[in-house]
Copies of this chain bind each other. A is one copy, B any other.
Amino acid sequence: MTSEQSKSDISRARILDAAAKMFRQKGYAATTLIEIARAAGMQAGSLYYHFGSKDELLEEVLDIGMRRVHEAVEESQERLPADSSHRDRIRAAVEAHLTTLLKHDDYTSANIRIFGQVPEEVQQHHIRQRDAYAELWRHIFTKAQKSGALSSDVNLGVVRMLLMGALNWSVEWYRPGRTSIQAIADHMCLMLFNGIGIEEPAQSRENETVT
């Protein structure tokens, strides 16, 4: 164990990378240890030197994914000037979340894509972690609303879930090269803060026929 990175650490990382990538692509159940091992350059049996089971490997992938996006958003807030506006804070959080999701990070996108279909027992082990991340967002939004930057009539919980959905769903359609991540974040913030509807001054009521 001379170098900083032992051989074991390197292999472990390769296995995790491969697992995250394939879990994201095909889901957990459909991904075989044989595939993961091949992608990591070894035999299936060798995985057990590093991980106790397929489930354990899954749990580590999920954990890393959630930790990364959590840390990214947290740091985005800490990096802001202390007197930043609430809009800027939310914008920074949106950018951090989206960038983590779409830039290299198979771990976070794997977590988002497969979590709902993972064995229930595994889900239980990660609920606390997910709640903590949700709490981070709740905090940002609540502060913004209390200070008057966000409308006080809206159900912030619903807004937050809609926002997270809009962002998370990007893993299903985003492909590098077409639209930039920044452009997506900008559109999201524009919608969130201002909407994209045009007020028609002549016909100021938009509420005939409510069905």
Contacts and interface: CB of A to CB of B under 8 A. Distances in A.
Nearest to A79: B211
B116 A113 contact: yes
A87 B158 contact: no
A188 B25 CA distance: 29
The contact size tier of chain A is 35 or more
A29 to B, nearest CB: 4
A209 B147 contact: yes
Contact of A150 (B158, B165, B198): B198
Copy count, this protein chain:
2
Interface in A30-53: 30
Contacts of A183: 155, 158
Given A27-B117, A194-B194, A196-B192, A206 B85 contact: yes
Nearest to A146: B209
Contacts of A5: none
Given A163-B166, A165-B166, A191-B192, A87 B206 contact: yes
A194 to B, nearest CB: 4
A64 interface: no
B187 A154 contact: yes
Given A84-B207, A89-B210, A165-B166, 10 more contacts: A25-B117, A27-B28, A27-B114, A84-B209, A88-B211, A158-B183, A165-B165, A165-B168, A165-B173, A193-B195
Interface of A: 25-30, 80-89, 92, 113-114, 116-117, 119, 143, 147-151, 154-155, 157-159, 161-170, 172-173, 179, 183-184, 187-188, 190-198, 200, 205-211
